[in-house]
Amino acid sequence: MLDGLALAQRGVSANLCALTFDDGPGQTTEALLNILRDKGIRATFFVVGSRVHLYPETLKRLVAEGNEVGNHTFSHISLRQRAPVEQLSEIARTNEELARLGIVPRYLRPPYGRYDNATIDAAAALSMTIALWSVDSRDWRKHDLSAVLPRKSYGVRGVRGVFLFHDNHRETVEALPNLIDRLTEAGCTFVTMSEYVETSGPLCLH
């Protein structure tokens, strides 16, 4: 279980920054992949299972270019207080859709960050780790994404963390090139979720 606190305590020495995108794949994902490719950055995409069959080529490209895929449930429901069998089905069905493309996700991100003990048990049963975020861009509010940059860390201690975005928001995609440039200037070393976790020491188990 990697919650916001556990993630915020990682990546200190190397200023690791993991860009993560929820809710896709969608119509703007290809444009987002173009930006990441041009910037030489790899990211992690937590995908909704019911959308996987709609964008198989996008997902194949995503993986081919070194990006990582995570599980964001099949129908994007809040898992908290749902029946354990329903939670397991939501996660397993997404894994099955991804398996048809040869993709095996390591991480589960529950929609809205909502989970309970049954979610933890379901993830463990499928050999997965729940991974949330430490920096929320709140891009669904369609505000200035520069707000995700810590003001006092600029040029001092650097920026780090697991950043939450959504690849189905056109405003996010349009703002991303400038945001990546500013994060780079602030000292970010961009990594995938797996790289962030593996480079940052042992897991914080709850």
Q: Assess whether pLDDT exceeds 90 at residue 132.
A: yes
pLDDT higher at 12 or 81? 81
pLDDT average, residue stretch 111-118? 97
Continuous segment of H or E residues that includes residue 191: strand 189-191
**Enzyme catalytic residues:** 22, 166
- Provide the 3-class DSSP secondary structure of residue 107: strand
Q: Are 149 and 159 in contact (CB under 8 A)?
A: yes
| Per-residue confidence band for 11, with pLDDT thresholds at 50, 70 and 90 | low
pLDDT of residue 157: 52
d(CA 188, CA 95): 31
| Per-residue confidence band for 147, with pLDDT thresholds at 50, 70 and 90 | low
Q: Which of 19, 6, 16 is nearest to 45 (CA)?
A: 19
Using H for helix, E for strand and C for coil, what is the string for 129-178?
EEECCCEECCHHHCCCHHHHCCCCCCCCCCCCEEEEEECCCHHHHHHHHH
d(CA 167, CA 20): 9
| Per-residue confidence band for 159, with pLDDT thresholds at 50, 70 and 90 | confident
Q: Which residues of 65-100 are buried (b: 16+ CB within 10 A; e: fewer)?
A: eebbbbbbbbebeebeebeeeebbbbbbbbbebbee
Phi-psi region of 15 (alpha: psi -120 to 50; beta: other; left: phi over 0): left
Which string of DSSP letters, residue by residue, matches 55-88? -HHHHHHHHHTT-EEEE--SS----TTS-HHHHH
